[in-house]
Amino acid sequence: MVHSTRRGLRRAAAAVVATTLLVAGCSQGQDPAPEAATVAPTLEPQKAAAPDPVVAPTWPLTGVAGEPVNRPALAVKIENTATARPQSGLDQADVVWETIVEFEVSRFVAVWHSQVPEELGPVRSVRPMDPDIVSPMNGLLTFSGGQPGILDLVAASPVQVISHDAGAAGLYRISSRSAPHNVYADPAALWAQADANHQSSPGEQFAFARTAERATAVAAGTPATTLAFDLSSQSKPSWTWNGTVWERSEGSTPAVAASGARLSATNVVSIVADHPGTPFGAQNGAVVPTYTLVGSGEGTLATGGKTIPVRWQKDSRDAPMQLFTADGAPALLAPGNTWVELVPAGTGSLAIS
């Protein structure tokens, strides 16, 4: 029993000696164990900037979504006497400006871009206010003729002139009406004459909301059903909201195009501006008036069965007319066609009901 214990102690001592020698050998003859490596965190590459949102293209004169055809704005002087009605192509115009000329009758500057009617007319002569209306579009201005001084005003503007009296192609007389109410135009033939400086589509003339619900008058205006204009003793147009669009009447008579379509507008813009006489005369000594459109003034925007007061501003002949609300924010029209009523300051009026 004693011998067994001694043998166990000798074995334990030998194990201790062996372990000590092993440790010593490692420390003297081998490289120390490497320290644990520190691994830097993997960094994700910087994320790319978010792409710009895709904005659907729109037609510049209407704000309606679509792929605009690259062609110039086509402005045409259209007569609006009782003898001239119903006119051709007005139901397809993007914008129509109504002006009061001599003898207190109204005449239109109608502008086409997004649609191509088969025929336009009756086409009549140019007036002094026309360059201020059409110059911002840098397009084509078509008319039947004009006085030398007024023609000089137009020639000094950036538009391309297409005049029937000058023998331009695409203008002709029809046999179903008597002169001077029988000059008509083929719009495709007019566009075909655009020169190298008048090939491009116009810029946006008014600011448009992306949807009708976001239009300024719809969002913040006062409900209305009728816009009754008194532009002169001979011109008293009115517009009635039918739940979808504003429908035009000449006095109490519904206004229609030659196609039979009721003349209507998505937006009706009332612009109150001075209406002074000019040195130009008409028959029987009548004075040819114009409008003072460079500057600013009061107006009304009607959209979606509602109206809102606006301030208009036009910085130069070649600058588009801008509309602002009372707080200075841009007034947004609804996508669609627009009629602009130029109300003579001091003598014209608009009654809203």
Contacts with 142 (C-beta within 8 Å, 6 or more apart), sequence order:
74, 75, 76, 77, 123, 162, 163, 164, 168, 171, 185, 190
The 10s digit of each residue's pLDDT in 219-250 is 999 999 999 999 999 999 999 999 999 999 99
Domain ranges of the chain: 74-352
For 267-323, how does the pLDDT look when each residue is reduced to its tens digit (9 = 90+)?
Answer: 999 999 999 999 999 988 899 999 999 999 999 999 999 999 999 999 999 999 999
What CATH code would you report for 74-352? Answer: 3.50.90.10
Q: How far is residue 299's CA from residue 270's CA, in Å, rounded to a whole number?
A: 5
Nearest residue to 339 (alpha-carbon basis) of 249, 273, 275 = 249
Q: How confident is the model at residue 25 (pLDDT cuts 50, 70, 90)?
A: very low
Dist CA 234 CA 98 (whole Å):
13
- Work out the number of other CB atoms within 10 angstroms of the CB of residue 235: 22
Predicted structure pTM score: 0.85
| pLDDT tens per residue across span 74-117 | 999 999 999 999 999 999 999 999 999 999 999 999 999 999 99
How does pLDDT run across 309-342, given as a tens digit for each residue?
A: 999 999 999 999 999 999 999 999 999 999 999 9
